[in-house]
C-alpha cells in the first residue's frame, strides 16, 4: 500500500532522515518508533506532503506522491492527526468534524451562498456522515459543545473523528496517545483496532510502548534519522540495536531498582 524508498530529508546542514526505506500492506496497523529527534514526525510530514523529501520516492497505491501539493493528498485516501492539536476551538465538535467532509462536496460557491436544493441535500449528508464518525469515537454526547471546552482526551478523539470524516484508506496518527491517562490510552488502543477492522490501514507514531506492542502488526524503528530495525513486535523487543537506542535506558533503570 505504501512504499518509502531511499528517502532523505535535509534542513540546511541537518539530516532529519537518511536513506530510509520501508513498505507495508493494506489492512495492517504499523508503528513508527524511535527516540526524540529520530525523524519520525519528519517522515509523517513527507508522507502527508507537508514538505517534500530531499531525495527518494514515496509511493501510495502505485502512485508517487513526493512531489504532490498537500491538498491533493487527502483525496488520494491519506489522512492524519497531529501531535499538536489542530482543532477550531471556537467551533462545535460537529462543525469541526464536518470540515473533514469538505473534499466530498461538489456544490459551488453560488449554490452554497443561495442554499440551493443541491447544497441543502449535500449539507445534510455532511451532517449525517460527521455524526457517524462522532458516534464511532464515542463523543456523541458532546457534538454541540465548543471544541475549546473539551479535555485533552476528548480533543484527541475529536481530531480522530475529523480525520476519519475524509474517508481515508491510510490513517496517520502522530502521537495520538500523548498526554492521555492509562484508561484513555487503553480506550484509544481499542479505537485504533476498531478503525483497522473498518478496513482502514493505520500508521502510528507513538512513544507509548504498551500501546505500540499490543496493537501493531509491524514496527519500524528510526534512530538519528536512520532505520535500524523493522519487524513484528516480538522481533523488535528482542532486537539489540533497538534495546540500545530506544529501550536501553528504561531497561537499565528497571534493573537498577531494588529493595
The burial of 3, by beta-carbon neighbours within 10 Å (0-12 exposed, 13-18 middle, 19 or more buried), is given as middle
How many other CB atoms sit within 10 Å of the CB of residue 194? 13
31 with 216: CB under 8 angstroms? yes
Which position has the grid cell 475529523? 162
Is 0.75 topped by the overall pTM? Answer: yes
CATH class of 1-77+168-259: alpha beta
- Under DSSP, is residue 90 helix (H, G, I), strand (E, B) or coil? coil
* pLDDT given for residue 100 in this prediction: 79
* pLDDT given for residue 119 in this prediction: 65
* pLDDT given for residue 245 in this prediction: 77
17 with 43: CB under 8 angstroms? yes
For 6: left if phi > 0, alpha if psi spans -120 to 50, otherwise beta; the answer is left
Domain ranges of the chain: 1-77+168-259, 88-167
Which position has the grid cell 465548543? 146
Q: How does pLDDT run along the chain (259 residues), one tens digit per residue? A: 999 999 999 998 899 999 999 999 999 999 999 888 889 999 999 999 999 999 999 999 999 999 999 889 988 999 999 877 778 889 999 999 988 776 655 554 444 444 556 667 777 888 888 999 999 999 999 999 999 999 999 999 999 999 999 999 999 999 999 888 999 999 999 999 999 999 999 999 988 888 999 999 999 999 989 999 999 999 998 888 888 876 555 444 444 444 4
Amino acid at each position: 500500500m505504501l512504499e518509502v524508498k531511499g528517502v532523505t530529508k535535509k534542513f540546511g546542514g541537518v539530516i532529519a532522515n537518511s536513506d530510509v526505506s520501508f513498505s507495508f500492506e493494506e489492512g495492517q496497523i504499523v508503528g513508527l518508533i524511535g527516540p526524540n529527534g529520530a525523524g519520525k514526525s519528519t517522515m509523517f510530514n513527507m508522507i502527508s506532503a507537508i514538505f517534500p523529501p530531499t531525495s527518494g520516492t514515496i509511493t501510495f497505491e502505485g502512485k508517487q506522491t513526493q512531489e504532490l501539493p498537500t491538498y491533493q493528498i487527502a483525496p488520494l485516501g491519506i489522512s492524519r492527526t497531529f501531535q499538536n492539536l489542530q482543532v477550531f476551538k471556537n467551533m462545535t465538535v460537529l462543525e469541526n468534524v464536518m470540515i473533514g467532509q469538505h473534499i466530498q462536496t461538489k456544490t459551488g460557491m453560488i449554490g452554497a451562498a443561495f442554499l440551493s436544493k443541491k447544497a441543502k441535500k449535500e449539507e445534510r449528508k455532511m451532517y449525517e456522515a460527521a455524526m457517524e464518525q462522532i458516534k464511532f469515537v464515542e463523543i456523541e454526547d458532546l457534538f454541540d459543545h465548543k471544541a475549546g471546552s473539551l479535555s485533552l482526551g476528548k480533543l484527541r478523539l475529536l481530531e480522530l473523528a475529523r480525520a476519519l470524516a475524509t474517508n481515508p484508506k491510510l490513517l496517520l496518527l502522530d502521537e495520538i496517545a500523548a498526554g492521555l491517562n492509562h484508561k484513555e490510552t487503553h480506550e484509544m488502543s481499542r479505537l485504533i483496532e476498531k478503525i483497522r477492522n473498518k478496513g482502514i490501514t493505520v500508521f502510528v507514531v507513538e512513544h507509548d510502548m504498551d500501546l505500540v506492542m499490543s496493537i501493531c502488526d509491524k514496527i519500524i524503528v528510526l534512530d538519528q534519522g536512520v532505520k535500524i530495525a523493522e519487524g513484528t513486535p516480538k522481533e523488535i523487543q528482542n532486537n539489540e540495536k533497538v534495546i540500545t537506542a530506544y529501550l536501553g535506558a528504561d531497561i537499565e533503570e528497571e534493573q537498577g531498582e531494588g529493595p
